[in-house]
Amino acid sequence: MTALAFLDAAPRFLFFTGKGGVGKTSVACATAVRLADAGASVLLVSTDPASNVGQVFGVTIGNTVTPIGSVPGLSALEIDPEQAVQQYRERIVGPVRNVLPAAAVASIEEQLSGACTTEIASFNEFTDLLTDAAWTAAYDHIIFDTAPTGHTIRLLRLPGSWTDFLNEGKGDPSCLGPLSGLEKQRAIYAEAVAALADPARTRLVLVARAQQSTLQEADRTHTELAGIGMRNQYLVVNGILPDDAVGADALAASIHDRERLALADMSEALKALPTDRIDLKSSNMVGLTALRSLLQAGDSPTGSADVSLVTPDAPLSALVDEIAAGGRGLIMLMGKGGVGKTTMAAAIAVALAERGLPVHLTTTDPAAHLADTLHGAVENLEVSRIDPAVEIQHYTDSVMRSKGAHLDEQGRAMLAEDLRSPCTEEIAVFQAFSRVIREAKSKFVVMDTAPTGHTLLLLDATGSYDREVKRQIGGTMHVTTPMMKLQDPAQTKVLLVTLAETTPVLEAAELQEDLRRAGITPWAWIINNSIAAAAPDSPFLRARATNELAEINQVQARYADRLAVVPLLSAEPVGIPALRAVAEGQLAGYARVSSSHQSSTRVP
């Protein structure tokens, strides 16, 4: 077996974190399998709202510990935010349901309907795993497949944040619906902080790809988590193109050179960490055979060099043309982290602006870096980011000026304490989101949204607001709420971005169903970074490209009303010229699919 530094004398708790799409779940699952194969008792836990651990193992895993029958000694658990919230809400509301008036109970339930409650409910389960020795005594190792970087930093900061909040007092009760019961958690949170900071118990594994953006994200994560006491850190660079896969293929050679340059340029802080490098495999990381191969050296391509790599004739430019014909509106790009939403959003925004249309490009993703992607300016294009810290300050100042103006000194102090609650971020970011939506009346607003889990929480907050407005106004007046705008295809176009791989396609399909249940129908799909569409010569890349064809066929035949396929490029799409090439490139293609999704439009 390949010796790996991050598995040397592995402690009880192993956290895997990194930018979305770097392969955290695959590496975490492969690690769990290796430890279990070696005779250890292992619990694999996902704290990601968009978890796909069950998909990797081919079994259904829920909010209860589930043995993985094919791997003796291995069990798994997915912390399902919705189930956690239901249980948390019932613990609070249940005792008073038949005691308080119905209106009061409804008010409490409404307070417990937003993202703040989701966060607290999931966090309570997370801390139990760190601190409840009796419950977890049966396991030698507990492996956490954590959420993408923005969520992870927030999640791991919560033990200290909530302890500080409790030490300072809870203040005014206006936000106490979600915070009920936190006082009794004080000792548990303190123990969770101690466990996270103890190198004998906890190891943090930063997972990255050999790409500048993911290594920069790993560096930021390293600094931030070291700052809260998690200093026992290791680096895993996943998915490196093997040297023997390059040959005479120009695309493979450019990828190889780009990866080597990114590794050479990574920060001194990352270079100082114990580091493992894992080669890219020719097959998808689904199933036990694939998982066991991931941490091994070498690979034998399973595809055939003779397979015809025919992909749809579907350029992104055709989608942009149809969008541009509307003259204005909200364009939202959604999908799993790491599929290229930021790049696609920037490419679409640049293409619309260069058609002479006013465009506002913005993001709600805490891990997105639009300025780095654009690396320049374009006429007609405004760029912004909904920064939670800035929005919290704006919201706090506004509340203190309005509500605080009518309070005495003690009342203002209590209000200020209340506004230091983590619940404030939910309200502040939602207000900024609503503000941006309003701009779409007169221009194009292209929104690079957060990864899937974040996006659904954001839309849930929008839906809660929508229900509350309708309840308050009754039938007395007409009002258009943010959710109503999202549900109107004339005002909003949702584009789902994915990769031609099993897990990203499944997650995008699940997101589409979630959106449809909320009355939002995705307008188009974008398959990004397609190796098949790039038509490589390398046998290794052709093996991966062959695996893509079935996924592209499934998207076109079953899911997408409109489709764009964007090829993997030899250079990273950074800068205005590169983004222009992404939108206008001749290698990509566009196809409009009938609503019945008949097989006549399948990929050959």
363-400 per-position pLDDT tens digit: 876 555 677 778 778 899 998 888 878 888 988 898 88
- The torsion defined by the Cα of 583, 584, 585 and 590, in degrees rounded to 10, comes to 80
Higher model confidence: residue 266 or residue 225? 266
Segment 51-62 shows an average pLDDT of 80
Tallying the residues shown for the chain, one arrives at 604
| Token pair 């270079």 in the structure block, residue | 271
Bridge-based pairing of strands 492-499 and 524-530 is parallel
Q: What average pLDDT does the segment 232-248 reach?
A: 92
> In Å, what is the CA distance from 413 to each residue of 64, 393, 405, 424?
42, 16, 12, 16
> CA-to-CA distance for 37 and 34, rounded, in angstroms?
5
Q: How far apart are CA 338 and CA 23, in angstroms?
A: 9
Q: What is the mean pLDDT of residues 293-310?
A: 70
pLDDT over 90 percentage in the chain: 32
Can you say how many angstroms the Cα of residue 216 is from the centroid of all Cα atoms in its chain?
17
Percent of the chain as helix, strand, coil, to the nearest 5? 50, 15, 35
CB-side neighbour CA atoms (13 Å) of 264: 6
- The DSSP string of 183-205 is GGGHHHHHHHHHHHH-TTTEEEE
CA dihedral 142, 148, 149, 155 (to 10 degrees): -60
Residue 186 is predicted with a pLDDT of 63
Residue 74 CB coordination number (10 Å):
25
CA distance 187 to 197: 16
Q: How far apart are CA 100 and CA 97, in angstroms?
A: 6
Q: What is the mean pLDDT of residues 517-540?
A: 90
Residues of the chain above pLDDT 70, percent: 76
Cα gap 555→537, rounded to integer Å = 25
Phi, psi of 357 (to 5 degrees): -100, 140
Contacts of 450 (CB under 8 A, 6+ apart): 150, 363, 364, 365, 366, 368, 458
**Mean of the pLDDT values across residues 177-187?**
55
- Report all structural domains of the chain as residue ranges with CATH numbers, in order of start: 11-89+116-172+184-294 (3.40.50.300), 316-601 (3.40.50.300)
Q: What is the tens place of the pLDDT at every residue in 403-415?
A: 888 888 877 876 7
CA angle at 299 for the pair 296 and 302, rounded to the nearest 5°? 135
118, pLDDT greater than 70: no
The residues assigned a catalytic role are: 21, 23-26, 48, 503
pLDDT band at 353 (very low <50, low <70, confident <90, very high): very high
pTM of the model: 0.74
- Distance, in Å, from the CA atom of 11 to the CA atom of 203, rounded to the nearest integer, reads 7
Q: How far apart are CA 259 and CA 261, in angstroms?
A: 5
Render pLDDT for 416-457 as a digit per residue (tens, 0 to 9): 766 766 556 666 777 787 788 889 999 999 998 754 554 555
Better-predicted residue by pLDDT, 578 or 149: 578
Does residue 146 contact residue 17 with C-beta atoms inside 8 Å? yes
Mean per-residue pLDDT over the chain, rounded:
80
Across the range 186-201, mean pLDDT stands at 79
- Separation between Cα atoms, residue 371 and residue 576, nearest integer Å: 11
As given in the structure block, the two tokens for residue 115 are 């993202």
| 288: pLDDT strictly greater than 80 | yes
**The pLDDT of residue 306:** 59
Q: Give residue for tokens 């704006």.
A: 394
Residue 436 to residues 360, 363, 396, Cα–Cα distance (Å): 9, 10, 19
Indicate the burial class of 164 (C-beta count within 10 angstroms; 0-12, 13-18, 19 or more).
exposed
Give the pLDDT confidence score for residue 175 in this predicted structure.
40
Evaluate if residue 221 carries a pLDDT over 80.
yes
Does 165 have pLDDT greater than 60? no
**With 80 as the cut, is the pLDDT of residue 29 above it?**
yes
DSSP state of 397: H
62-117 residue pLDDT tens: 778 899 989 999 999 988 777 777 887 787 788 878 887 887 777 677 667 655 56
